[in-house]
Amino acid sequence: MKTMFKPLGLAAAVAAVSAGYAGVANAQTTQSIGQLGDLGIIPYYTVEGNWVTGVHIINSSDLTQVVKLRLRRAPDSADALDFNLIMSPKDEWTGFIDDSTGDLVFATDDNTCTAPIREDGRFPMPFIFREGAEEGYIEVIGMGSAADNTAIAYAAKHVAGVPRDCGAVASNFFANGVASTTKGIVDNANSVQAVADVSQYSTSVGSVCTPAATPANAGIPGVCNNTYTDAENGLKVSYFFRDATAGTEMGNNAVHIADFSADPWMSNQETGLFSGDVYGFDFPDLDGGPWVGADFGATLRGTYNNLRDGAVLGVASVLNDWSVASARNVSTDWVVTLPGQYTMIDYITWAAGAGLDFDNCATLNDPNTAGDDSIAACDFRDIPVTAAITLYDREEGEIVPEDGDLVISPAPPSERNELILPYEVNVIQWTDGTQDPVLPSSYATTVDPSVLGEFGWASLAVSSTDDWTQVVCQFKGVDDTTWDNAPTLAPNASQAPLCVSATGGVPMVGFVAWQRSFPSNPDANYGRLVEHSFTSGATTAP
């Protein structure tokens, strides 16, 4: 069993932190280096070996924030686990990911309201995408802000360290809410909250609260309407990894994106796309909010190409340092994550033709595969990404890729100076064969740079696969509330995918994990994370 631990203590408060997000509501989406944002991407989580992963989220704003917290598994970024945090102003939430009980669980001892509510603070990963989800990355997305004079803000506010009424808060996130009558999400900017004491809310908040008057609210004394604005750039997200057995801990800030959201992106936490619900828990994601409006989604969707911009996450190359100093027990692993690739899957074809298996998407309509000639391909992702590798020592020496100079495994014949990054989360283990990796991984490839010595740096020039054209896929339906034929999701003419060309560069985030160990004195082991540097791809997106 893994050695357990208590999450890191409260982060130090920073005076006048609101200056980081004030006055930028209409600015272009940007990577917010050293700043705050309405989107945080944690490049990697892991429970492999003895590792656990911790997460800290701070709402530095003066408004109550609804935040989507989602784990996406490493091979294909399938949504493995998600839930909502409802954070009152200046609140901080902490949790950790662990599998010591046999289940993969996101656990917290925090009092902040969540939807759904878990009395024990444990959120076990559902089985559907559990396989292979010991590693992945995390999205932290601001869904919307609620002013202090709303019912949800009143109920979520801590009094003596405990929110007033998390049950009332959670009632906002059922499906099919109806203004003034039925609890739940009404649309992307409105929800209805069930309340036990209408008179208390009516005198304490500015929300419109009314007694229950319909059978739909049987047993509920009353309801209050809540209205949301876009999420403020007030989120501060950080993470850490800890191997308590080895005594090693390392951490960093998440990658923060400012002005990702221009609108509130509220969605329910009861049903999702598998149930035919286009307002459900699958949203918001890295392509935007729920599918709203007569144009079926165009109003709130279409943000992923903004992230691919060279000023945000789109890159042409990635660089960092490496070390294989085995005599000093130094190891380095790179994590290279390509967030949002799931937005480049045609989900209608995937659900109906690929059998809900992401691996099948690339084999559909394959002339060499019998039985699928009538089914279109559904995979238009950047991966597998080719990374042309250039290695340097610390004295400007560069490897000339000749036979015998460099061993990279796995690699196609005669392409000894290239890596193939086949997953959405990739771990590159730098080793001469004598070191243990820093991060034991099922999604690893190895590089032996020892022909140059014990340490140096590397640059990877990255490019998308040329086996297909990269596009960002959406879908359309006969109305703006459901998929046709849900939940079977059988394709028909009214559900033709709405695919647009992917612009910008390959989106990437990541870091080098550096560790030094002392076998005779494990208590002296230490490590650190250093973010990658990137050169950008295209600099503008539509």
On whether both 404 and 275 belong to a single domain, the answer is no
Query: Does the pLDDT value for residue 24 go beyond 70?
Result: no
The sheet with strand 135-146 has its strands ordered as 30-31, 255-258, 39-46, 135-146, 64-73, 79-87, 113-115
pLDDT at 444 over 60: yes
Contact in structure between 358 and 423 (CB atoms under 8 Å):
no
Say whether both 221 and 246 belong to one domain: no
Residue 452: pLDDT band by 50, 70, 90 thresholds? confident
pLDDT of residue 537: 61
Domain endpoint, select from 272, 288, 307? 307
Claim to verify: residue 477 and residue 365 sit in the same structural domain: yes
* pLDDT tens digits, 69-101: 999 999 999 999 999 999 999 999 999 999 999
Q: Please give the pLDDT value at position 201.
A: 75
What pLDDT, on a 0 to 100 scale, did the predictor assign at position 39? Answer: 98
Q: Is residue 92 part of a domain?
A: yes
What pLDDT, on a 0 to 100 scale, did the predictor assign at position 75?
93
| Segment holding 20, helix H or strand E | none
Of 218-222, 464-468, 517-521, where does mean pLDDT reach its minimum?
Answer: 218-222
Domain tally, the chain: 3
Domain boundary among 288, 307, 326: 307
How far is it, in rounded angstroms, from Cα 77 to Cα 338?
9
Domain assignment of residue 396, yes or no:
yes
Beta 425-430 vs 444-448: how paired, if at all?
A: parallel
The two structure tokens encoding residue 521: 């004195």
- Domain identity same for 531 and 405: yes
Q: Looking at residue 31, what is its pLDDT?
A: 87
Task: Give burial (CB, 10 Å; 0-12/13-18/19+) of 528.
Answer: middle
pLDDT at 114 over 80: yes
Domain boundary among 183, 202, 227: 227
Is 4 within the bounds of a domain? no
Residues 218 and 262 in one domain: no
pLDDT value for 493: 39
- CA distance from start to end of the chain: 50
Does residue 18 fall inside a structural domain? no
| Residue among 53, 155, 141 at smallest CA distance from 94 | 53
DSSP 417-434: TEEEE-SSEEEEEE-SSS
More confident residue, 195 or 487: 195
Query: What range does the domain containing 186 cover?
Result: 162-227
Q: Which residues contact 538 (CB under 8 A, 6 or more apart)?
A: 308, 309, 310, 314, 503, 504, 505
Distance CA 255, CA 263 (A): 21
pLDDT given at position 139: 98
Residues 294 and 327 in one domain: no
Give the integer Cα–Cα distance in Å for 538 and 345.
22
Residue 140 above 80 pLDDT? Answer: yes
pLDDT at residue number 70:
98
Q: What is the pLDDT of residue 342?
A: 93
CB atoms under 10 Å from CB of 373, counted, come to 10
Q: Residue 60, SS3?
A: coil
pLDDT of 62 reads: 96
Span of 336-350, 379-393, 483-497 with lowest mean pLDDT: 483-497
Same-domain status, 154 and 166: no
> How many angstroms separate the CA atoms of 518 and 246, rounded?
10
- For the cut 60, the answer to whether the pLDDT of residue 198 exceeds it is yes
pTM equals 0.87
φ/ψ of 160, rounded to 5, equals 55, 40
Distance CA 8, CA 12 (A): 11
Local confidence band at 386 (pLDDT 50, 70, 90 cut-offs): very high
Asked if residue 12 is part of any domain, the answer here is no
Residues 289 and 396 in one domain: no
The answer to whether residues 199 and 258 belong to one domain is no
Whether residues 457 and 500 share a domain: the answer is yes
* 351 and 460 fall within a common domain: yes
Q: Residue 178: pLDDT above 90?
A: yes
Question: Is the pLDDT confidence value at 40 over 80?
Answer: yes
Question: Has residue 15 been placed in a domain?
Answer: no
Strand duo 79-87 + 113-115: pairing: antiparallel
Q: What is the pLDDT of residue 401?
A: 44
Q: Positive or negative, the Cα torsion across 30, 31, 33, 34?
A: positive
* pLDDT, the chain, mean: 82
User: HSE (CB half, 13 Å, CA atoms) of 460?
Assistant: 26
Please tell me the predicted confidence (pLDDT) of residue 328.
Answer: 87
Q: How confident is the model at residue 277 (pLDDT cuts 50, 70, 90)?
A: confident
Of the listed ranges 73-77, 313-317, 354-358, 376-380, the least confidently predicted one is: 354-358
Q: Which amino acid appears at position 319 of this protein?
A: L
Distance CA 264, CA 289 (A): 8
CA distance 258 to 34: 11
Of the pLDDT bands very low, low, confident and very high (cuts 50, 70, 90), residue 346 is confident
Do residues 352 and 466 share a domain? Answer: yes
Work out whether strand 455-463 and strand 314-323 pair parallel, antiparallel, or are unpaired: antiparallel
- Provide the pLDDT confidence category of residue 495 given band limits of 50, 70 and 90: very low
Work out the average pLDDT over 399-426.
59
- Is 2 contained in some domain? no
Q: Quick check: 390 pLDDT over 50?
A: yes
Is 19 inside any structural domain?
no
Q: Whose structure tokens read 């109003």?
A: 299
DSSP 231: P
Looking from the CA of 490 toward its CB, the CA atoms found within 13 Å total 2
